[in-house]
Chains A and B, each alone.
Chain A
Amino acid sequence: MKVSLSWLRDYVDLPIGDPAVLADIFANLGHEVEGVETIEPQFAGVLVGKVLTVQAHPNADKVRLCSVDTGDGPTDIVCGAWNFEAGATVAVAVPGAVLGRDFTITRREIRGVVSNGMICSSKELGLGEDHDGILVLEDGLPIGTPFVDHLELPDVVFDLSITPNRPDAMSMVGLARELAAHFDMSYRTPSPDLTVTSGQIDLRVDIEDDRCRRFVAREVRGVHVRPAPLWMAQRLVKAGVRSISNIVDVSNYVMLELGQPTHAFDMDKVADSHIVVRAANPQETLVTLDGVERQLTPEDLVVADVRQGSSLAGTMGGLESEVSDTTVNVLIECASWDPPTVMRMSRRHGLRSEASARFERGVDPNLPRLAADRMAELIAAHADGTIVGGVVDNYPAPIEPLTVVLPIDEVERILGVPILSEQVTDLLGRLEFSVTGADPLTVVVPTNRPDVTRAIDLIEEVARLYGFDNFPSRVPTGGDGGLSPEQRRLRTLRLVVRGHGFSEAHTSTFTGYADLAMLGLPQGDRRLQAIEVKNPLREEESLMRTTLIPGLLQSARFNLAHGAASVGLFEIGKVFFNEDSPELGLVPDQPEVLAFVAVGSVGSADLAGFGRPVDVFTGMALWRTIVGQLGLGEYRIAQAEIAGLHPGRGGYIERQGEVVGHIGELHPSVARSFDLPGRVVVGELALGPIIADPGLWAFAEPSVFPPSEFDLSFEVAATIPAASVLAESVRACGDLLEVADVFDEFLRGETKAVGIRFRLRAGDRTLTADDVTAARERIVAAVAAAAGARLRGA
């Protein structure tokens, strides 16, 4: 809402005028200031003049010769505009006047006639864009006075963003009330003079839908539609509203002044002087003021005559019943509408108007009568109309002010400072809340404040006027805070993954069918059963991601396209499945996963930038480090052919027989579809089991006795995983084993050699040759039995 200071001063005698201070006061009252604009006149030396005569120019067709009085008697001015005749009051730039920054008006000869200045248009004066003709002023402005005196310039315009709970603040009077409350002073509301009327209104209004809370109508007859007076038009322009005509401008003026949107109909287009407020019919259409034919639904509310709809209630008028240049009799509508109804209508039809912005917030239902009177007064004054006696006020269920009880200690309980009962009474009183009693206070809330219905709402009003700046500060602390073990382990996990050269990424939560299809997943895979977004912003974002891998692959692609040779990225985030959440029930299953992608070489490199090219072992190495650093003992890697992955270079990660993730190289065809070259390593693992708190680990006393080490090289079928040979060896070796791991593996046709290095140690003695021999024999026998392995060289 744009608020000009000069207009505001009509209603409140502000003790200060400093725009910066006033802006702070608005902000501290809860009315955010989006801008403060100082408006200066764009001209100097322009006077009000009267056109005495208009004649043809002796030597030119397109301009006329005017005799104009600017206070010093008649003087000749040549003018190219044709929108006025003798008698018109105009703005005259006399010789020496300056328009714009530096256009100085001089006495000059035009086609043989001396022109003593210029009759100005709105645009030339910097008052608007209208350049169709010169600015014709209303009669009665004193001839010869400086034109600037009639413009309320310079002025300051505050651009306020009014919160959606404050219909009252969408008006000059409402904001005057706010400032008056701040300064603890009085403010003024217009009191229309309707003493002169003629006849009696003859209009029937039927409210057939209770979403119309009140309908007030007045009639003004015999109007002359013409431009509004200069001061009114200028106030509207500063408020960001275009000046149209005296009738339309009065309607807007009253809305801005009081906050009550109003509507003016051409009375002679209302059939049978009978208005019906009703729900629209299913097939009904209405052409609105903007010329658009609207398809209505019974959700819409229309103001109609007996034949057809005349306007969309509270949203926009209809074209057919609009006030036009030929309108003589005006019907004034000031109504009160159900706020959600107007909000839905304005959204449904894409019509966000000044009126709907106010009705959505909930205009005071006790305001229409004043607004109708004010509008009648102003139309009579500025359009020569005669106010018809009487008013139609259809108000089926009058809204009474609400009474709210406020126990005084509630104020301190919420705000933290003791505010006395008298002070609360004073502060609320400034906003015209009527307060009685001492404790509890009984507060009658004016109907212009539908946002105040409870004690807490009153406390907010007190806080606002008391000033947030005036509250003390205190820092409360919790007694049992801190990160959970899982949260700490999550941070460790991220550190470990980064330590392998992977940078953390955040990719979009959204994906599309095309991306999922490129993964090469089998039909029925749960990752293909993605949850759909009902109102996606883009087709590619129409699904909730079921895997982080496509997003990471796209990020990898982005980096390669921007010159990177290698990419290592990981992300920890939620994926979403079309199944109920096991923990939360109603919402979908949305577990967190760790995923990574590697292209090129990741982690370490030589001088030339060459590192170990990534392959499946890059991913497995990361996994082994995670297992080691986070103490995940019981996991197993199970080689498998996994859809979308290289058939021979991928495996599941299993925990107690359950698959918790997979790591492998992307199938070359999948890599190609993501436009990624070479081997592409991916992995995706459930986060929960990784970060789950394993509890305290038990200390193992290091042995003081020396170890015994030996290597065994087994020959097994090529299909037997080294991990199986190792696992069997470990099981067979028994308690003396300190550590064992595969140190060598190579294929020889149908068989392969697996070398395992063992280190044995006892906690209580030095091992003997017999101990070692016995262990060796146990291992060899067990591996032979379990995996058909033969000891090489034996």
Chain B
Amino acid sequence: MDELEQVADDAPGLVGAVNSLEGLKGVETELIGKNSVISRMRRGLSALDPDDRPTAGARINEVFTGVQVVIADRRRALEIAEENTLLVSDRVDVTVPNHRVTLGTEHLLTTVMDEVSDIFVSLGYRVATGPEVETAWYNFDALNTPSTHPARAESDTLYVDFGDPSDEMLLRTHTSPVQARYMQDHVPPVHVVVPGRVFRADSLDATHSPVFHQVEGLVVDTDITFADLKGTLEYFAKAFFGDGRVIKLIPHFFPFTEPSAEMHVSCFACDGSGCRVCSNSGWIELMGCGMVDPNVFEAVGYDPSAVSGFAFGMGVERLAMVRHGITHIKHFFENDLRVLGQFV
């Protein structure tokens, strides 16, 4: 039994001196392996006096368990130390972009069209689209624009060669023909916005492009008045340019609305005191609008004595250029990744 007590005394020291998991294995074999003192003594129990056996057996087990605990503790400590060593060697400089994932960006024109659409969707509007190659009837006649109107000249409008030459076919000059199509297909009430691409026979300069985009709006119901137009555009101005914006409506002329107005919004950059953004006027001209002309209602089969409505239309490039300080309209169509990458 002295041998056993020697083991019990020596074991913590032996185990504690081990510095690796492999070394610990050897010590474990030495202390509790097949040929260890403890194992030998267990095997020798049967040779003992039966009266001594329980005491001796209990002591052997006690020592055995004690040694096991010491080894387990040591193993855990060594494992932690080993892992810590590994983690130190596994250190990286996390500031280095070793893996890059590059997502594409949304085009600013899309962003603005969606944003404008969503403002009106939040007011319960639907979003409609229509053909870009359009008949002169939808683009002009239905919109109370007579055949003599200068906008119909080839110097202003692009025409295409398609179908029967008597059906003048053109590139829509505004998104308004979708108004006419939508009204033909729906009974009032109508609350709709129309984003889309439009065309004019304009040469490219800083603010003009033969291809550009508009968002059109149309509301028709039995009780729509000029006050509804005014309130709606005020709501839009605040939603798009921020709280605190005020608008003014200036009388104007468009064939398809009567009365007609130009909508100006107080400058978001200077709050109306005058700056570069608003050419020192304090106001930014944003869109044309007005009450739908009765002739338009008649053209699409609505009864102008039963319904009234308002319409408005704004240039998407202009909205984007004004709000983001974009210097030339070409930036929308060159698709320069250095520009597209800014539209986030």
A contact set with B: CB distance below 8 Å: 27-30, 32, 163-166, 339-340, 343-344, 347, 360, 412-417, 454, 456-457, 459-460, 463-464, 468-469, 471-484, 487, 491, 494, 497-510, 531-537, 541, 544, 552, 555, 558-559, 562, 564, 567-570, 573-574, 576, 578, 580-581, 584, 586-588, 590, 602-607, 609, 611
Contacts and interface: CB of A to CB of B under 8 A. Distances in A.
B126 A482 contact: yes
B126 A503 contact: no
A60 to B, nearest CB: 52
Nearest to A536: B158
Given A504-B107, A604-B99, A475 B225 contact: no
Interface in B91-149: 96-107, 109-110, 114, 117, 120-121, 123-127, 131-135, 148
Given A510-B210, A603-B101, A503 B337 contact: yes
Nearest to B232: A475
B102 A501 contact: yes
B163 interface: yes
A29 B261 CA distance: 11
Contacts of B259: 414, 459-460, 463-464
Nearest to A477: B124
Contact of A607 (B96, B102, B167, B169): B96
B227 A494 contact: no
B191 A481 contact: yes
A477 B340 CA distance: 35
Interface in B248-305: 248-253, 258-262, 291, 293-294
B312 interface: no
B327 interface: no
A494 B106 contact: yes
Contacts, number: 268
Contact of B250 (A30, A559, A578): A30
A484 B126 contact: yes
Given A459-B259, A478-B191, A590-B131, A472 B337 contact: no
Contact of A558 (B199, B230, B334, B341): B334
B105 A456 contact: no
B253 A478 contact: no
A413 B225 CA distance: 6
A605 B102 contact: yes
Given A32-B252, A494-B110, A606 B334 contact: no
A418 to B, nearest CB: 11
B interface, how many residues as a size bin? 35 or more
The 4 closest A-B pairs by CB, nearest first: A416-B225, A478-B191, A478-B124, A30-B251
Nearest to A564: B337
11 contacts: A459-B258, A471-B230, A476-B224, A481-B124, A503-B340, A504-B107, A509-B132, A570-B104, A581-B131, A606-B98, A606-B99
B46 interface: no
B325 interface: no
A236 to B, nearest CB: 27
B303 to A, nearest CB: 13
A505 B251 contact: no
B197 interface: yes
A603 B103 CA distance: 6
Contact of B221 (A28, A476, A494): A476
Given A506-B335, A587-B135, A473 B211 contact: no
Given A416-B227, A504-B106, A535-B158, A27 B131 contact: no
Name the residue in A344, A460, A483 with the highest tally of chain B Cβ atoms < 10 Å from its Cβ.
Answer: A460
A480 B124 contact: yes
Given A30-B251, A604-B101, A537 B126 contact: no
A631 B211 CA distance: 34
Contacts of A415: 225-227
B308 A457 contact: no
Given A28-B251, A477-B123, A534-B159, 11 more contacts: A347-B150, A473-B227, A475-B228, A494-B110, A504-B104, A504-B105, A555-B334, A569-B104, A586-B135, A587-B169, A607-B97
Output the residue of B105, B250, B251, B293 with the most chain A CB within 10 A. B251
